[in-house]
Amino acid sequence: MAKRTTLNKAFLSGNEALARGAWEAGLSVACAYPGTPSTEIMEALATYKELDVQWSVNEKVAYEVVYGAAVGGVRSLFACKHVGLNVAMDPLMTSSYAGITAGFVIVVCDDPQMHSSQNEQDTRWVGIYAKLPVLEPASPAEAKDYVGEAFKISEKYDTPVIVRMTTRISHTKEDVKISKRVAVKPKPLVKDMRKYVMVPGNARLRHVYIEKRLEKLQTFAERTKLNKVEMNDTKLGFITSSVSYQYLKEAYPDASILKLGFLYPFCDDKIKAFCKDVKKVVVVEELDPFIENHIKELGIKKVKAKDSSFRCGELTPGVIKDAVEGKVKNVKPRPGRAPRLCAGCPHWATFSVLKKLDLFVAGDIGCYTLGALPPTSALHTCICMGAGVTFNEGLRRAHPNGKIVGVVGDSTFVHSGVTGLINAVYNKAKGIIFILDNSTTAMTGGQQHPATGWTIRNEPTKVLDLEQLCKACGADNVDVINPIGNVKKLEALVKKRMEEDALSVIISKDPCVLIKKKSK
């Protein structure tokens, strides 16, 4: 049996490998807000003491801080999950125009199959929409290598670069070769207003520039080794990317493959040549027909693709052949235990009151979303971060006297709930907003945030006082109560506040049992 040397190797997840690769490539500044499956990127980066890292308040803030650092002249990295990118789209779209001073990488972790997400959006489209290059590693080892390439591409073409991961890349572990860190000198701070002040006159010029940039990137796509042809049997060929490549290598070991690692802009000539050289060509990709549609646009008629039923959910070794053969997806859901709130979780007590009073509960994103599942079944909406607060207002605008409340977690409230509270106060909305304060970002594994008073490296910092914050926003009442052992008191308080013509905040506060365990 062939043995490999284990020297200078580590067993790393895709997220850890990407972090390692960024560190080796001379990264300086990195920011993120936690979100499965991306969270471990920032946690891994925090272990490298040379780096300036942070949990930011939300993805928009993270993006702007990191992008500012890249404009300032140091290599910088932003990481988020797919839905997190939506929050950062405002700065992203214009950062494409203004470009960078030093390398800037946007890492986005998609979640095909929605293992831990509220939708299955495919980030590859952002490449087209924002006119940015998209790289797509197919393994942890590639994630490590590609992030270094991404910094080079960023600096050569004056562009932010998207590295698109998926759950199966982020959360797969592999033995990965590790190297030393490269020293990258910071660039001086330059006042370049035509490049960085995106008023119409300047932005019009930059738009022309980025259209040319796309053409140059397309030329690069044709020659980069990130797009690799593996020519074997010419009877059958696949055009693929990401983890689908790995499934194909095992299911069809003799087939030829064009593996796209530099996904967008597309390498049209390479694609055309491959389709000419191979008798039958099948595009194999997870989620949307991103590659498929482009190849159709190129007018290559012989190319086959998966049935549209496979646009939902991830591909797996068990279904890869069905997808290749154009069959309709036929996956029986596998039985399994549903997750539920932990024993001793303070949310149990709060939800027991909400359920007993038969309230309509506008929910949000976090552990407490599990309150929608049996046995509590006491949460009735969940759309996006912060909507627990704003949905209370919207639902009440539809039903002004409805028995409606909103719930939001402490980390989520800081992320984007507070703006909704200010809006509710300003626009004279009523009702109760619960901040389910378990003193951590629990669902993603317990990350710090401004109201915990600790940084990502567990250094003390100023504590954001949620009670004072809500008062300052103008809430009529702000009550703080520990729900554990106080269910009757909490019930009486909710009844009282529901009867008042007021906007009330109830901070239901008790630390997450998992962080209690951790600190033991």
Partner 1 sequence: MAKQTDYNVTFGGIGGQGIIKASELVGWAAMYDGFHVKKSEVHGMSQRGGSVESHVRFGKKIYSPLIGPGQADFLLCFQGDEHHRLEPFLKPEGVDLVDYLKPATDMIENPRYLNTALVGVLSVFLPIKDASWQKALKTVFKPSILKGNQKVFKQAQKLVK
> Binding residues for partner 1, per CB under 8 A?
1-6, 9, 11, 36-37, 115-116, 139, 167-168, 171-175, 243, 245-247, 249-250, 316-318, 334-342, 367, 370, 443-445, 514
Considering the complex, state which of residue 145 and residue 393 has its C-beta at the smaller distance from partner 1. Answer: 145
In terms of Cα–Cα distance, which of 244, 246, 238, 248 is closest to 278? 238
Residue 380, classified by CB atoms within 10 Å of its CB into exposed (0-12), middle (13-18) or buried (19+), is: middle
Alpha-carbon span 47 to 123, nearest angstrom: 28
Of 332, 329, 309, 311, nearest to 319 by C-alpha is: 329
Minimum gap (Å) between residue 364 Cβ and partner 1: 16
Give 323's contacts (C-beta < 8 A, 6+ positions apart).
284, 306, 307, 310, 315, 329
Nearer to partner 1, 310 or 391 (CB): 310
CB of 449 to partner 1, least distance (A): 18
**Closest separation in Å from C-beta 319 to partner 1:** 9
Amino acid 335 reads: P
What are phi and psi for residue 228, nearest 5 degrees? -120, 130
Kindly tell me which of 319 and 503 has the beta carbon lying closer to partner 1. 319
Q: Tell me how far, at minimum, the Cβ of 439 lies from partner 1, in Å.
A: 16
Our CB check for partner 1 shows the closer of 68 and 445 to be: 445
3-state secondary structure 318-342: CCHHHHHCCCCCCCCCCCCCCCCCC
Nearer to partner 1, 10 or 89 (CB): 10
Nearer Cβ to partner 1, position 207 or 517? 517
Task: Return d(Cα 426, Cα 382) in angstroms, integer.
Answer: 24
- C-beta closer to partner 1: residue 68 or 446: 446
* Residue 260: CB minimum distance to partner 1, A: 17
Reading phi first (left if > 0) and then psi (alpha if -120 to 50, else beta), residue 265 is in beta
CB of 268 to partner 1, least distance (A): 27
Give whichever of 316 and 419 is closer to partner 1, judged by the CB atom.
Answer: 316
**Residue 117 in tokens:** 């997400």
CA–CA distance from 162 to each of 172, 270, 292, 409 (Å)? 20, 21, 20, 30
Please state the closest distance from residue 452 (CB atom) to partner 1, in A: 19
Please, are residues 261 and 165 in contact by the beta-carbon 8 Å criterion?
Answer: no
Supply the minimum distance, in Å, between the C-beta of residue 213 and partner 1: 34
Q: Say whether the peptide bond before residue 265 is cis (omega within 30 degrees of 0).
A: yes
Contacts for 104 with CB less than 8 Å, ≥ 6 apart = 66, 67, 70, 75, 76, 77, 78, 95, 154, 160, 161
